[in-house]
Amino acid sequence: NAGVMQNPRHLVRRRGQEARLRCSPMKGHSHVYWYRQLPEEGLKFMVYLQKENIIDESGMPKERFSAEFPKEGPSILRIQQVVRGDSAAYFCASSKMSAGGTGELFFGEGSRLTVL
């Protein structure tokens, strides 16, 4: 009964490199959310995906950031040409939406990206 699994837990990149963060939702969950947490700040919504569909990406920067949730495999948050301002903790959460459900989000432990 694994929870939401994120990897890597820590990632160091140099400016200009690419970062790929992976998230496997809880078993039976088909809704995935990505959030970013800057040091000493709250969580900022980035994107909400269902299998093979981006439902809401209004929180994603328009350039360099992309997300996917393929039919098979984990959800991936991809950051191209990273800059120092991308350094943050990126959290994935999954949910099992069902009629009458409470929409509870289950969070992974986060991937901490450091850009040198």
Partner 1 sequence: GEDVEQSLFLSVREGDSSVINCTYTDSSSTYLYWYKQEPGAGLQLLTYIFSNMDMKQDQRLTVLLNKKDKHLSLRIADTQTGDSAIYFCAEVSPNFNKFYFGSGTKLNVKP
- The residues that touch partner 1, with contacts defined as CB under 8 A, are 4, 31, 33, 35, 41-45, 48, 55-56, 58-59, 91, 93, 95, 97, 102-110
Residue 35 near residue 21 (C-beta atoms within 8 A) = no
Neighbour-count burial of 100, counting CB atoms closer than 10 A to its CB (0-12 exposed, 13-18 middle, 19+ buried)? exposed
Tokens 């459900």: give the residue: 101
Smallest distance, partner 1 to C-beta of residue 53, A: 12
Smallest distance, partner 1 to C-beta of residue 7, A: 13
Give whichever of 17 and 37 is closer to partner 1, judged by the CB atom.
37
Listed residue (116, 59, 61, 113) closest to 87, CA to CA = 113
Smallest distance, partner 1 to C-beta of residue 78, A: 21
Give whichever of 15 and 44 is closer to partner 1, judged by the CB atom.
44
